[in-house]
Amino acid sequence: MKKTLIVIVILMIIGGGYFAYAQFGEGGPAENSKGKTKTVQVIKSEELSSGGTIVRRGVVKGEKEIYLSAKAEGRVERLYKEIGERVYRGELLARIDGREYWAQSKVAQTGYEFADKSVSKTKKFFEAQIKQAKKARDLAKEAYENYKQGDDDEKTAEAKANYEMAKKAVETAKKAYDLQVRMAKGNRDVAEQQWQAANIVAGNTSLTAPFSGVIAQVQVEVGDLVGPQRPLFLLVDDSEKEVEVSVEGEYLNGVKVGQEVTVIVGDNQKYQVRVKAVSPMIDTHSRKGIIKLELPKEGEFVLGEYVSVLIPQPQELTGGEVLIPQEAVVRVYHDTFVFVAEKGKAKMVKVKLGDIIGDKIIVRDGLSGGENIIVAGQQYLRDGDSVSVVREGK
């Protein structure tokens, strides 16, 4: 069994090498096609004159992007919005099962109402105590005044002592009123705070949009158990878009806020955009920092799409680099080639590739610019084949 497997692998390797040899080497089956003219499409390579530029990939984002989580733990009872839907500030997005929280709120409300009634009862009780003490004081005062008119010093002194005690009783009743009412109010305040806290928790079972935007992600389903640590939605404010690009720390100093750079989107669509922010520090692990670019509103930028950013720098491109379509590249094992149409013949050129820019790629070595690069039909070519150009791009 092992011997059979080894034989199969050897045959596959030999077959692969034979195919590559037949396609790109001399002789072999492809030799039979020599002399036949093949139809191809070409495009001219572009010489890059922007020496001192680095190319980095950035992503289109909303100016504000936030993951929204429920503040209360529970199971998702209902989702009101789907991915791609537009929402407005304050609009309801989801509801968590809050029956337990609302039951706790009801208990807290009952506690508050009881404490509020206790304040009223305490006031009435101690107001009655004060009233009774004042009445006793007034009677004692009247008795004292009467005895002062007579000759019985002993009775007068006793009446005076009773009057003094009655006045103290009034003061004591007032202090008791202040103390007990203050305590009752304190209990009511605590109960009110507990009720408010319970209401907040119960209210947290409803998730609303903090700003207007579009739902970019929905990360849960009805019935899922969620909490503060689990996002439900990604909400993006797409009214203002920006590009966020990660750049090596040594290149950050070459970029300034307000500076204009080139952004290439899709099929080589170029925009001149303004740098709106440059990170003041670099990540300790990646050794990179973030640059944010302000995108024009009139451009058709898709959230999440990758774009190429040409950042002016005194490094990287040294001159002589050219730009070609990615589909023109032919890979043979670890080498890369392109076919160039010259005087009706296909010329196979080995190239050294660099960064990707939009749908194109930089050629650092092998081309000088202006060549007719074959972009369709090259997979059937070999070096020296006769070719007929049916369309020439620019």
Question: Do both 326 and 361 map to the same domain?
Answer: yes
Taking 70 as the pLDDT cut, the residues of the chain under it are 1-35, 47-52, 313-320, 357-358, 391-394
For the domain that residue 244 is a member of, what is the CATH number? 2.40.30.170
- What is d(CA 271, CA 193) in angstroms, rounded to the nearest whole number? 56
**Same domain, residue pair 170 and 159:** yes
Give a yes or no: residue 10 inside a domain: no
Boundary-marking domain end, from 291, 312, 333: 312
- CATH number of the CATH domain containing 83: 2.40.50.100
Q: Cβ-count burial of 192 within 10 angstroms (0-12 exposed, 13-18 middle, 19+ buried)?
A: middle
pLDDT of residue 180: 92
Does residue 380 share a domain with residue 303?
Answer: no
Q: Which domain holds residue 387?
A: 33-49+319-393
Identify whether residues 146 and 294 lie together within a single domain.
no
Same domain, 194 and 116: yes
Beta-bridge mates of residue 65: 236
Instruction: Pick the last residue of a domain from 258, 283, 312.
Output: 312
**Pair of tokens at residue 287:** 């050794």
Number of structural domains, the chain?
4
Domain presence at residue 11: no
pTM of the predicted protein model: 0.53
Examine the domain organization and report whether 127 and 248 are in the same domain.
no
* Distance, CA of 294 to CA of 275 (rounded, Å): 6
pLDDT tens-digit map of 283-326:
888 888 999 999 988 777 888 899 989 887 654 555 567 888 88
**Last residue within a domain, chosen from 281, 312, 343:** 312
273 and 149 in a single domain? The answer is no
Residue 19 in any domain: the answer is no
299 and 350 part of one domain:
no
In a shared domain, residues 298 and 374: no
Residue 220 belongs to some domain of the structure: yes
Same domain, 199 and 210: no
82: in domain: yes
Question: Residue 117 falls within a domain, yes or no?
Answer: yes
Q: Which residues of 262-282 are buried (b: 16+ CB within 10 A; e: fewer)?
A: bbbbeeeeebebebbebbeeb
Contact (CB, 8 A) for 380 and 47 = no
Residues 187 and 115 in one domain: yes
Question: Does residue 17 lie in a domain region?
Answer: no
Residue 136 lies in a domain: yes
What CATH code is carried by the domain that includes residue 353? 2.40.420.20
194 and 130 in a common domain: yes
Whether residue 96 contacts residue 67, with contact meaning beta carbons closer than 8 Å, is answered with no
